[in-house]
Chains A and B, each alone.
Chain A
């Protein structure tokens, strides 16, 4: 069974640029969630995609957008990068979009984004 993979591992961008991060979900999972984890902080929920539709969004501006593809892989796009966007971006996949115990999210290793 293949776990959650993310690419690239590291990325350096300058302020104002745009970035696309990619995530391949675990086999059999149809839900992908994206999180931003600043240094020394817990992850912050960005949004979730379930069967190619956005299924919930955290307190992030519209310049954070995403896609989920028919194979349930996903992209996170960030436009007009700001210095505060520097963080570890985590993708997590799960079998369902419902809450509760048993609906474990499996995390990828993350993409570390640095904005200069």
Chain B
């Protein structure tokens, strides 16, 4: 079993919809949780990061962490075609800098 599980999709939604992306993890030692966006033929770009449990909002993006359930989410409001990309979750224990990544979810926003 992988330490971080993420549905690869693809997830296809109409423009303007609310998108929910999720990851589950098995290691309770993870403390820092991140969401990256990766466009085709590009490197990952950090979207959101959260320390421990709670919510964080940045514009149209909201990240949620539920450590009791070992479950993290990224919500995208008013989705746009330009949001079409692969979204990767990543997390680490805090004691070193090695990020453990999910496999990524491919998101398609239809105009």
Contact = CB atoms under 8 A, between A and B. Distances in A.
Interface stretch (A11-19, A42-50, A66-74, A75-83): A42-50
A90 B97 contact: no
Given A42-B101, A56-B97, A100-B51, A110 B32 contact: no
A55 B96 CA distance: 9
Nearest to B106: A40
Interface in B1-30: 4, 6, 8
Interface of B is mostly: loop
Which one of B51, B94, B95, B98 has the greatest number of beta carbons of chain A within 10 Å? B98
A4 B45 CA distance: 12
Contacts of B45: 107
B97 A43 contact: no
Given A45-B99, A100-B51, A109 B104 contact: no
A109 B43 contact: yes
Interface residues of B, number: 27
Interface of A is mostly: loop
A94 B88 CA distance: 19
B83 to A, nearest CB: 19
Indicate the size class of the contact surface on chain A. 20 to 34
A99 B32 contact: yes
21 contacts: A40-B8, A40-B104, A41-B104, A42-B88, A42-B102, A43-B99, A48-B97, A55-B97, A56-B96, A56-B97, A56-B98, A90-B43, A98-B97, A99-B97, A100-B51, A101-B49, A107-B43, A107-B44, A108-B43, A109-B43, A110-B43
Given A41-B103, A45-B98, A56-B97, 14 more contacts: A40-B8, A40-B103, A42-B90, A48-B98, A55-B97, A92-B43, A97-B97, A99-B97, A104-B46, A104-B49, A105-B99, A107-B43, A107-B45, A110-B41
